[in-house]
Amino acid sequence: MKIKDLWLKMDDNQRQQFATKCGTTLGYIERHLIQEPPTRRPRPALLAKLVNASGGKLSDYGLYQHFYMSDVPAQKKYPTNKLKKKKAKAKIKAKKNNTSEKAA
């Protein structure tokens, strides 16, 4: 069973219990995990919690397929902290160059 199918079959109370068992929030699951393709890729610990909270309705392999075998390249969609830092440094450097040019 797909995570989205399971989620749509649950009522609000069941969804809240499911999210609590997984150690996350309703919003996180709705915004990031049940989308196709997903907007976030959870760590293995959360995948295990999803399987356990589903009572066996979800499988490790099915979740792995949903989150990690999509056509979306991980690097472009989910930048690492190093990439974020690099971009931030480049922005600061560009601002410094612009201010020094204006002063001259």
The separation between CA 102 and the C-alpha centre of its own chain, rounded to angstroms, equals 42
pLDDT of 18-62, one tens digit each?
999 999 999 999 998 988 888 888 888 999 999 999 998 999 888
pLDDT of 56-85, one tens digit each?
899 988 888 888 876 544 444 444 566 677
90 within 8 A of 82, measured Cβ to Cβ:
no
pLDDT for 47 equals 92
29 within 8 A of 19, measured Cβ to Cβ:
yes
Say whether pLDDT at 10 is over 60: yes
**pLDDT band for position 11 (cuts 50, 70, 90):** very high
Please provide residue 63's backbone torsions phi and psi, each rounded to the nearest 5 degrees: -70, -40
Each residue of 62-79: b (16+ CB within 10 Å) or e?
A: bbeebbeeeeeeeeeeee
Distance CA 97, CA 20 (A): 49
